[in-house]
Structure 1
């Protein structure tokens, strides 16, 4: 009798473990909510990429600056400055617009600022149980459209569907 009870208990225990699933882990490299990719070009020669100097992007209405180099020390201002021709900016996932100040020559006497408002539609896409959802964006416009008197000459939306970070979404000419 003890032998039958032991076998029955063992089978019940084995079946209960059989139905358990392994913990899901969101693997590194899994696509997450993409940032908008902005590339800068020379206004005089639109095919030539142009680096921005001491470039900083602040979220309007806050003191939050966009981090371009997360590998630098938290207190290091260079973490928030870009000297490249391509940047990645996160858009808000909880509303249909994000507004930023684009500051050229940040921290110098030649500092100039342009405010840009990104309008878009959002869609949530299920990735997996462990990773949850990511938000993809459909960029409808960027305001202002007239850059007279600013450091930006013009702006074009190259790819309005922001699904990944593999391509340039916006080109800015200055």
Structure 2
């Protein structure tokens, strides 16, 4: 009888371990909410990538933001709690002479969908930019440094591809 009880306990413990899932740790490399990938191009030579110097990006209502220097591609986060994100793209944002800084305001309009990843990782949000001209709208002023914005991919599912091209 003792052998039967011990065998039953071992069998139950083995069954419990066999049915366990790794659901308490979200593994590295698991896809998360993607950021919008923006690549910069020369307005006079549209096939040539162009690097930006001291580009500051500040979200509407914030006082600090992201700073990029000497890059032609950036990752821009979108709000997961709204269907709109507003940014100020500040060209030469670190210039001591503030009169040489040039700010263009951009409004990004999108719909969002939450996608279940796993119990450990939860959900990620994927975005769908609205069709042009409503997807990304820049505020027109007398000295826009951004000449044109072109949406390459309307669905933002991952960070492996360029979603938006900015020509300046």
Pick the TM interval, shorter chain: 0.7 to 0.9
CA shift at 1:44, angstroms? 0.6
Structure 1 partner of 2:54: 54
CA shift at 1:16, angstroms? 4.4
Residue 44 in structure 1 maps to residue 44 in structure 2: yes
Unaligned stretches of 5+ in structure 1?
Answer: 67-79
CA RMSD of aligned residues (A): 1.9
Change in Cα spacing, 1:99 to 1:107, as seen in structure 2 (3 Å) is same
CA shift at 1:27, angstroms? 1.8
Structure 1 partner of 2:22: 23
Q: Distance in 1 between matches of 2:162 and 2:141?
A: 21
Is the CA contact 2:106–2:139 (under 8 Å) kept in the aligned structure 1? Answer: no
Is the CA contact 2:148–2:166 (under 8 Å) kept in the aligned structure 1? Answer: yes
CA shift at 1:62, angstroms? 1.1
Structure 1 partner of 2:92: 105
Matched position secondary structure for 1:19: helix
Offset from partner CA, 1:90-137 (integer Å, 9 cap, x none): 101111111111011012122111111111000111112211111100
CA shift at 1:148, angstroms? 5.4
Matched position secondary structure for 2:5: helix
Q: Distance in 1 between matches of 2:55 and 2:40?
A: 11
Structure 1 partner of 2:124: 134
Is the CA contact 2:105–2:139 (under 8 Å) kept in the aligned structure 1? Answer: no
So what's the TM-score if we normalise by structure 1?
0.82
Q: Distance in 1 between matches of 2:147 and 2:38?
A: 15
Offset from partner CA, 1:114-168 (integer Å, 9 cap, x none): 1111110001111122111111000111112756521111111111100011111
Structure 2 partner of 1:94: 81
Residue 120 in structure 1 maps to residue 110 in structure 2: yes
Aligned length: 158
Matched position secondary structure for 1:136: strand
Change in Cα spacing, 1:146 to 1:51, as seen in structure 2 (3 Å) is same
Structure 2 partner of 1:12: 9
Q: Distance in 1 between matches of 2:163 and 2:60?
A: 21
Runs of 4+ in 1 over 6 A off after TM superposition: none
